């Protein structure tokens, strides 16, 4: 279950402001939709966490064999080209694209769209919001 806050009547967060908000609230997992809504992602349960960990392990194993890219967990927020800031459950970025980013870009919310993502759908997730996220 997620909580969505519409900030538009009050303010529009810049990418830098969103990054600062996340840094000031490390106990919250925040995302930002294309329309600027602030999304508070709730923690997942044991089954979902286990499934996510297994998927990350599979992608890491494949990536170690191929050496083609970099694997990310759901704790990584990507600043996407359309203006949203999202955290897929598992993400992979081709190595050359990742290395093209500056050190500062890699240390913040990377301004790059992953080449591959996995998003687990829990029983409480609605399909349309997940499709919009992808």
Q: How do residues 27-60 score in pLDDT, each as one tens digit?
A: 999 999 988 899 998 888 899 899 999 999 999 9
Task: Report d(CA 19, CA 14) in Å as an integer.
Answer: 9
Task: Report the percent of the chain where pLDDT is more than 90.
Answer: 67
Task: Report d(CA 92, CA 71) in Å as an integer.
Answer: 5
Select from 31, 61, 59, 53 the least CA-distant residue to 134: 31
DSSP 43: P
pLDDT at residue 127 is higher than 90: no
Q: Is 101 exposed, middle or buried (0-12, 13-18, 19+ CB in 10 A)?
A: middle
* pTM reported for the whole predicted model: 0.86
CATH for 42:
3.90.1570.10
- Looking at the structure of the chain, the number of domains it has is 1
Dihedral sign of CA atoms 28, 7, 73, 112 in order: negative
Range of the domain at 7: 2-133
Mean pLDDT of the chain: 90
């Amino acid at each position: 279950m997620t909580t969505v806050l519409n900030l538009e009547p009050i303010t529009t967060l810049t990418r830098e402001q969103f990054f600062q908000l996340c840094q000031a609230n490390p106990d919250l997992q925040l995302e930002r939709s294309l329309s600027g809504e602030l999304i508070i992602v709730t923690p997942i349960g044991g089954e979902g966490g286990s499934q996510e960990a297994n998927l990350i392990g599979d992608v890491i194993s494949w990536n170690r064999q191929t050496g083609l890219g970099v694997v990310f967990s759901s704790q990584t927020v990507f600043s996407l080209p359309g203006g949203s800031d999202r955290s897929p459950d598992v993400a992979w970025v081709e190595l050359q694209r990742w290395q093209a980013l500056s050190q500062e870009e890699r240390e913040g919310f990377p301004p790059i769209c992953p080449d591959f993502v996995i998003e687990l759908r829990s029983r409480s997730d609605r399909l349309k919001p997940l499709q919009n996220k992808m």
